[in-house]
Structure formats: C-alpha cells, structure tokens
Structure 1
Amino acid sequence: MPVTRPYVLLSVATSIDGHIDDTSPSRLLLSNAEDFDRVDQVRAESDAILIGAGTMRADNPRLLVNSEERRAAREADGKPAYPLKVTITESGDLDPELKFWHHGGEKVAYTTDEAAPKLRERLTDLADVVATGPGLDLGALLDDLGRRGIRRLMVEGGGHVHTAFLSQDLVDEVHLVVAPLVVGEADAPRFLRAAGYPWASSRRMKLAEARPIGDVVFMRYLPKEESDA
C-alpha cells in the first residue's frame, strides 16, 4: 500500500525585515506571550514536531507542549502526552547533552547513510536514528513518518530547514507571524534563503487567515493553492 505522508505545517516568526533572529548570543524573542500560547496549541494538535540541527545547537530547546491541560487532552484522546520530536542532521554532529534528547517523549533523528553509525553511537538509546540515503532525503523522511502513523507534522525551523521544505514543495500550510521589530543585520538568519522554489515569483499563495495577536500579526498561507485575487 502507498504510504500516506503527513500534512506538513511550517511555523515561523519573523521581524518586519524577514529575520528569525539577530546575531547576539541570546535568542531574539519575536512572539509575545499570547502567540507563544497559540504555538503551544498547534504543537498539541500535531503528531510530530521537527527542528534542524542548527536550531538545536543555537537555541538548545526542549521543544515541548507546555500546557498540562493540553497534554492531558492528548492522553485522553489516546495519544502520548508529547508529540514525537524529530530532527535532521547531515553531519551527525549532535551533542547528546542537548535538552532536546532529555525532555518529552520519543525522538527520532534523520541523517545520511554515512553519518548514521556515528550518530547512533553518540545517542545510544536517546533516539531512533534513521538513515535516508546518501543525502538527507526529506521525501524519505516524510514516508518514514507516515509509516509511523504521523498524520500532522509541525516544522519549526530554522531557515535552512524552512527553505528545504518549501523549495521541495513539501509544505501544505505556513503559519507566519510578523513582529514589530527590525533587525537590520546583514548576517542575521533569515526565514528563507535563495533556492529554486517550484513557483514563479509572480505566483501568489492563498491567504487562508490573517489576524492580530497583541502586537504581532498572524497569517496562515496555503502554498499549494493559488490566491483567487
């Protein structure tokens, strides 16, 4: 039987000038408390959450559903308290002491054939390590998640990961939050990088929702659908 890939939701917050962080050692907080709570709800509604190795190293996140009530609701529905936590790494150079591995429920790390033995040795029983081939194959990753019963995948970044998923036309929905900040630093990481995206620059995505959340603006786009405008 063909594998049903998960529905892929890409979630990101940016400054007005398109940056997801600045160049300071500490993480730039772009969202506000109300929007962080919205993100927690989206996490609770997802079967898996994915971040890249760069985000793990830079931010060292736990990547959890923080609300006790939302975790309880998941368990009442027969789900684990926390979504599956997923990361991708081409090099396999991930520190086993990172918080990602020691909080929440099950974890899986996708990597290349060459890096997989090293990563398995580093992580031991902290995560399931899956090799996707000579390179990091996102299609193979989605197929494997589908076989694991993952129906909804939330992709939280960073920029390299966002670019890879969008440029390969693997995103069904984008949650974009714009904060009233200007970073103005040429070397600061951006939401998207230059890539061969599968659309002409004149093609307009469908805007499904837009609303203010405190001082930020939340927009929900459907990149596989065109605007009616």
Structure 2
Amino acid sequence: MPTRHTRPYVLLSAAMSIDGHLDDASPDRLLLSNPADFDRVDELRAGCDALLVGSSTLRADNPRLLVNSPARRAARQAAGLPPYPLKVTLSASGDLAPALRFWHTGDAKLVYTTQAAAPGLRAALDGLAEVAALGARVELGALLDDLGRRGVRRLMVEGGGSVHTQFLAESLADELQLVVAPLLVGQADAPRFVNPAPFPGGSTRRLRLLEARTVGDVVLLRYAPKESTP
C-alpha cells in the first residue's frame, strides 16, 4: 500500500486595522505592526518548514519572505535545517514576473499552478523556482498533500486576503494568529483580511480563542479555526 503522508499544520498569520483592512488604498505599503511584532513574526517563520504567500500579494508588495535574525537562521542550521524555510506561492494564471524579490532571496522556492500554466511558468522561472502542476485547478487540499509528501510539517500562510479566505472557507487552517493594529483605514477599496465566503458554521459559530495579548501597541489574537466554543 502507498505511504500516507500527513498534511502540514497550517498557521495563518495576518495583521489588520481595527476595521478589518490589511492595507490602505495608497500605492505605499501601510505598516500595521511594530518592531516587537515584526520580531514575533520572524520567530514564527524560523519555526516553520515552509512559508506561503499568494501571487497577488507577491505582485502588490514584492516581499522577500525571509527569517531576518542571523541567530535564528544559525539555530535552524544547527538543527540540520536550511537557514530559511521553503518559500511557496500559488498562481492559477502563471502571471509571476521573474524580477520579483521573492525568487532572489532565501533558499528553495516552489510554485503551485495549473497544468495549462506550468510550461510557461517553468520557462519564465527557470533556475529560480520549482514549478509543480496540480491539474486543471490549484486546489489547496492537493497543495497540502504535496507539501506533506515533501516533508513539510508546519506551514505558515502570510496572505493575502483571498488566500486566507480560501483556507478558512475550506476548513484547512489549524491556527489563526491575527494582529489588530490601532488604525482605522475607512476606505472601501482597501484590501480586507477576508472576503465574503461560506465559512463553516456560518455567522453564529464562535471560534475557540487560544490567546489574547498585547505586543506593544497591537493586540495578538490566536484562534483555533477548526474548533468552536461549547
């Protein structure tokens, strides 16, 4: 019988304004966190096997998605791990420019796409990233199965809103770490933490709160999305 591989533990991480926005509508990135919280996120990254971000966030923010602390990178290497976790993205269209900083920093990179988009994306990202075709669609369940086969045990998902929405709507997130910043964006066209979706249990289901604490001037809320309060 074929070996059954365990899907990774999925941790969603996001920072939002009081009114639920990930950013404002200006061309400049809105910084929602503070130095203490950025360091907390860096520690989270260092404890994961893979980091995932959606293609829209790659194009909009051009992130590097790294473990910034040299001490944390050294600790990973001392444990027999690469200094940086695997960097993962997904794109049904294959519209990912090779000039993005994501490809030119860190260690291994992996892109999940469709069978139709894979040839063009492999040509565009030759030497920069592995391209894995999942079939006619990029299904998150298949993505997690493949990461499990690759030995990924802990996956940190860092956005954006469409990706977070999909993980939560499909009940694939084991933990949500949500930081609330003391800001009000108030712009209808600003991106939100999640989009409208048929979330499991509907609007009356109350998720179990794991932790609530302040980190400087922001509040960290940890939830177990697969669990409800009694």
Are 2:124 and 1:95 equivalent residues in the alignment? no
169, 172, 175: which one aligns with 1:170? 172
- State the shift of 1:200 in Å: 2.3
2:108 paired residue number: 106
State the percentage of identical aligned residues. 65
Match of 1:202 in 2: 204
Q: How does 1:1-229 map to 2 (within 5 A)?
A: 1-228=3-230
After superposing on structure 2, the runs of 4+ consecutive aligned residues of structure 1 that deviate more than 3 Å are none
User: 2-side partners of 1:80 and 1:163: how far apart?
Assistant: 30
CA distance in 2, matches of 1:100, 1:187: 26
Matches of 2:33 and 2:122, distance apart in 1: 35
- Superposition CA RMSD, Å: 0.6
CA shift digits 1:150-188 (9 cap, x unpaired): 000000000011011111110000000000000000000
- The amino acid of 1:90's aligned partner reads A
| CA deviation string 1:93-135 (max 9, x = no partner) | 1000100000000000001111111100100121110011101
Q: Provide the C-alpha distance between the structure 1 equivalents of 2:63 and 2:24, rounded to a whole number of angstroms.
A: 17
| Shift in Å, 1:197 | 1.3
Shift of residue 226, structure 1, vs aligned partner: 1.3
Distance 2:198 2:113 in 1: 23
Distance 2:198 2:223 in 1: 19
C-alpha distance in 2 between matches for 1:12 and 1:227 = 22
User: Partners of 2:135 and 2:166 in 1: how far apart?
Assistant: 16
SS of alignment partner, residue 13 of structure 1: strand
Corresponding letter in the other structure for 1:182: L
Identify which range, 132-141 or 62-71, moves more after superposition: 132-141
C-alpha separation between the residues in 1 aligned to 2:114 and 2:91? 8
Q: 1-side partners of 2:212 and 2:98: how far apart?
A: 39
Q: What amino acid does structure 1 have at the position aligned with 2:83?
A: A
Shift of 1:227: 1.7
Per-residue CA shift, 1:15-43, capped at 9, x if unaligned? 00000000111100000000000000000
Letter in 2 for 1:123: L
Question: Following the alignment from structure 1 to structure 2, what is the Cα–Cα distance between the partners of residues 198 and 212?
Answer: 28
Q: Distance in 2 between matches of 1:199 and 1:113?
A: 33
- The code of the aligned residue for 2:14 comes to V
Amino acid at match of 2:181: A
CA distance in 1, matches of 2:56, 2:9: 23
Between the aligned partners of 2:171 and 2:127, the Cα distance in structure 1 is 33
Equivalent position amino acid for 2:49 in 1: D
The count of aligned residue pairs is 228
Q: Which runs of 5+ in 2 are unaligned?
A: none
SS in 1 for 2:185: coil
Listed as ranges, the gaps of 5+ residues in structure 1 are none
Instruction: Report SS of the residue matched to 2:76.
Output: helix
SS in 1 for 2:182: coil
